[in-house]
Amino acid sequence: MKVVKADAQRLGFEIGHSEKLLLFRLLTLYPMIGAQHQPLSRGETKPDDQALLETALASQRAHNKRCLDGMMQATDRFRRNAQGWRFSLKRTEAEWLLQVLNDIRVGSWVRLGSPDPPGAVLATLDARNVPLFWAMEVAGRFQMALIHALSGGETSAPDWPPVP
């Protein structure tokens, strides 16, 4: 994913066909973090307050899911070109997408057992957890590309591996 235009309001990207497929597949995994993972407090618990937090988080996740579905189904969002696809995001949309990707990345890490360091999971990869490791790593790569763009980068993000 490469930044092709950046101004005060919008970021323009070019993304290869395989990268677009990876991004869309990844976004179908949202949400990954359950409401119970977000305790209101580590100390004293107030069930009513915790329930209110979980309701608010569920509402936000439902809104994010509707927005994601709209983004992926919008026929005018991605425009095909010789290199793959071009698309643009408002800076606020890019920050929102960054939060969605973070949910997928952190949620995958939590479901993997919160390995420390995260690479420690490599020794225990099997058919059950490989998809979670894939999601964690790919979400991190897309996050880096968005962070690079939001911070003023005008080329592809560093260390983005070629996609077959």
pLDDT digits (tens, 9 = 90+) for 46-81: 778 778 888 888 899 999 999 999 999 998 999 999
For position 161, what pLDDT does the model report?
A: 52
Q: What is the pTM of this model?
A: 0.85
Work out the angle at residue 72's Cα, subtended by the Cα atoms of residues 111 and 56, and round it to the nearest 5 degrees: 55
DSSP 129: T
The pLDDT of residue 37 is 66
The two tokens of residue 87 are 């698309």
Residue 164: the pLDDT is 45
| pLDDT for residue 15 | 96
Q: How far apart are CA 155 and CA 91, in angstroms?
A: 17
Low-confidence ranges of the chain (pLDDT < 70): 35-44, 118, 154-164
pLDDT given for residue 46 in this prediction: 76
Q: How far is CA 137 from CA 26, 46, 80, 114, 118, in A?
A: 10, 36, 26, 14, 10
Q: List alpha helices for 28-164, DSSP H.
A: 47-73, 91-111, 130-150
The angle subtended at Cα 136 by Cα 145 and Cα 65, nearest 5°, is 80
| Predicted pLDDT of residue 135 | 96
Domains of the chain, by residue range, sit at: 2-37+48-150
* Residue closest to 108 by CA, chosen among 53, 29, 54: 29
